[in-house]
């Protein structure tokens, strides 16, 4: 567990002390013992090694753009605030790996470098372009970039479709994450 400061850490330690480990990723169980204002998850966490990575053989060409490129922001607007917020493309520190159709970005992938050389993946596909393998294509480019930089790619997923993309690329699910925002009195 992590907390933003010692005061919050102490509150969380006391509140969760009696919970079984499995309940610590159950939003309802955590809400019962902590004053929670916001919940993200639970989500599975998956990782891939260089040996386990299965690069996408998809044919669409992938462009490499700056992460703040207008095409990336346009895709976020098209996808809507919920999907864009989940993907968090606005937080990537890598280049944006983009597939365009008729000049518009329809899929974007990238990663944010986290501590301990972790590359936290972000992938977003336009709603009208889903189910065609484009997420796998852009994610594959981002994972290859991260591995070439000596980073450990991490995939966080709630939705079954996202978990399937990760599995297709060779990611192995190793844990579950629940993020909560604790109310401050």
Which of the four pLDDT bands, split at 50, 70 and 90, describes residue 25? confident
Q: What is the pLDDT of residue 92?
A: 97
Which value, to the nearest 10 degrees, does the dihedral of the CA atoms of residues 36, 1, 177, 21 take?
-90
Residue 101 has pLDDT above 90, yes or no: yes
Q: What is the pLDDT of residue 89?
A: 95
What is the pTM (predicted TM-score) of this model? 0.85
Q: What is the pLDDT of residue 58?
A: 66
Q: What is the pLDDT of residue 9?
A: 86
Mean pLDDT, rounded, for 109-131: 96
Tell which residue, 74, 171, 71, has the closest CA to residue 120: 171
Residue 60 has pLDDT above 80, yes or no: no
Which of the four pLDDT bands, split at 50, 70 and 90, describes residue 185? low
Q: Delineate the domains of the chain, giving CATH numbers in brackets.
A: 43-176 (3.40.630.30)
Write the CB contacts of 101 (distance below 8 Å, at least 6 apart in sequence). Answer: 129
Which of 10-24, 39-53, 65-79, 151-165 is predicted with the least confidence, judged by mean pLDDT?
10-24
Mean pLDDT, rounded, for 108-126: 96
Whether the Cβ atoms of residue 105 and residue 60 lie closer than 8 Å to each other:
no
Phi, psi (degrees; rounded to nearest 5) at 32: -65, -25
């Amino acid at each position: 567990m992590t907390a933003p400061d010692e005061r919050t850490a102490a509150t969380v330690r006391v509140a969760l002390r009696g919970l079984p480990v499995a309940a610590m990723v159950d939003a309802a169980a955590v809400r019962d013992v902590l004053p929670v204002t916001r919940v993200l998850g639970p989500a599975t966490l998956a990782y891939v090694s260089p040996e386990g990575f299965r690069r996408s053989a998809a044919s669409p060409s992938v462009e490499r753009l700056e992460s703040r490129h207008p095409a990336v922001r346009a895709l976020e607007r098209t996808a809507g605030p919920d999907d864009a917020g989940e993907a968090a493309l606005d937080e990537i520190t890598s280049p944006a790996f983009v597939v365009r159709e008729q000049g518009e970005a329809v899929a974007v992938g990238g990663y944010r470098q986290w501590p301990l050389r972790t590359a936290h993946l972000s992938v977003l596909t336009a709603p009208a372009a889903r189910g065609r393998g484009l997420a796998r294509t852009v994610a594959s480019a981002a994972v290859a970039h991260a591995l070439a930089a000596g980073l450990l790619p991490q995939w966080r997923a709630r939705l079954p479709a996202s978990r399937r993309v990760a599995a297709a690329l060779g990611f192995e699910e190793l844990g579950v994450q629940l993020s909560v925002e604790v109310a401050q009195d």
